[in-house]
Amino acid sequence: MDKYKRLSFEQRLHNAFGSQEMERKKAEHALVHAIGYEREEFDRLWFQGENSTWGHNFGRMVGWKEVYTNSVLQECEGAVKGAFEDMHQYYEYIGHDVRSVGACGGHALADGCIEVAEDGGSARGFFMMPGGNFWIIGGSRCNGYRRSSINWEYYGADFVYHNGDWVYIHEHVCPIFADSYDNTNWGHKMFERAIDDPDSYLDKRSAPCPVTVPGPLSMRYNIQQPVQHLLYDCPAPYLTLDDDNSYSPGHNELI
C-alpha cells in the first residue's frame, strides 16, 4: 500500500489506464498477427527505435529495422505468395484478401500479469498463451484438408509511454511446445525425442531470419523438466524500466 500512497490520484489513474492499454494492445497484437496483418500489428503498436527488440527461443532482433524487416516485410511476402498458391487450387479464393493468411485461431492470451512502473513511463506484462492455429484453406499446403497446430507459449512484454501513447518496446516469446491439433500424444513424442537427443529442449533450430542476438534464449518443454532461468517470469512491482526490470536487458533507453 505504501507504493500507492506515494502516487497522486492523477498518477494512479495514468498507471491504471496504462495497464488497460497494455492488456488491449496485447490482444490486438495477437489477433492481427493471427491473420498476418503485420503492418497493423507493428506500425500502430510499436516504439520505433534502436532499442526496439523482439525475441524468441531462436534469438533476439534488435532495432526497429531488423524487427520490421523480419516481422513485416518477410511475413507479408510469404502471405501474399501463399495466397496466390491457394488461388490456383481454389478459384473461389480469387478476389479475397491476399494479405490475410487464410487462417483462424491465434495466440489466445490468458493469465495476464501486468505491472506499471511507479514513474508511469513503462509497463511490463506476462501472459500465457494456450493457443491453436488453424489454416482453413492452406491450398497446396494442405491438399484439401485443414491444418492445425496447438502451441503453448508464454510472453513477456515491455511497453513505454511515448508521445502520449502506450506502445511496445520489447516482446519476448518463449515457446513451450507445439504439435498438430490432431490425435497426437505430444508428451510421448517429446519423451522419445529427449531419449534420442537429450538436448532437444534447447531447440537448436537456426533462426528463420537474421537476428542480432542468436539463441537459444529459452528452453522448450522437456520430460526432464530442467530449471529455466527466471528472466521471462511475471514482473514484480518496479520503479522504472531498466536492465533489472525488462524482458530485454541492455535495450532500455528510449533511443
Partner 1 sequence: MNIHTLNTPVIYISEDGRTAKYMGYDCGLLTDGKPDGTADAHYIFGMTYADLIKEPGGWKIWHMVIQRDHNVDAEKGYGETPCYIPFGTDPMDAEFGTPTVARIVYDPFYGWEYMYQDMPHPYFTYNEMHSYGPEGDMGLPYYIRERRDV
Instruction: Tell how far CA 33 is from the center of its chain.
Output: 9
Q: Is 212 in the site for partner 1 (CB under 8 A)?
A: no
Q: Is 91 in the site for partner 1 (CB under 8 A)?
A: no
Helix-helix angle 74-89:38-45, to 10 degrees: 160
Taking contact as CB under 8 A, which single stretch among the options 3-11, 20-28, 161-169, 241-249 is the one that binds partner 1? Answer: 20-28
CB of 21 to partner 1, least distance (A): 12
- CA distances to 56, 170, 206 from 235, rounded to whole Å, are 18, 14, 29
CB of 214 to partner 1, least distance (A): 31
Residue 105's region, left for phi above 0, alpha for psi from -120 to 50, else beta, is left
| Contact track, partner 1, 105-124, x by CB under 8 A | xxxxxx--------------
Residues numbered 165 to 184 that lie near partner 1 (CB under 8 A) are 180-183
Q: Is 216 in the site for partner 1 (CB under 8 A)?
A: no
| Contact track, partner 1, 127-156, x by CB under 8 A | ---x-x-xxxxx---x-xxxxx--------
Distance CA 58, CA 71 (A): 14
DSSP string, 183-232: S--HHHHHHHHHHH-TTGGG--PPPSS--SEES--S----TT-PPPPGGG
Residues that bind partner 1 (CB under 8 A): 23-24, 27-28, 30-32, 34-35, 37, 40, 90, 92-93, 96-97, 100-110, 130, 132, 134-138, 142, 144-148, 180-183
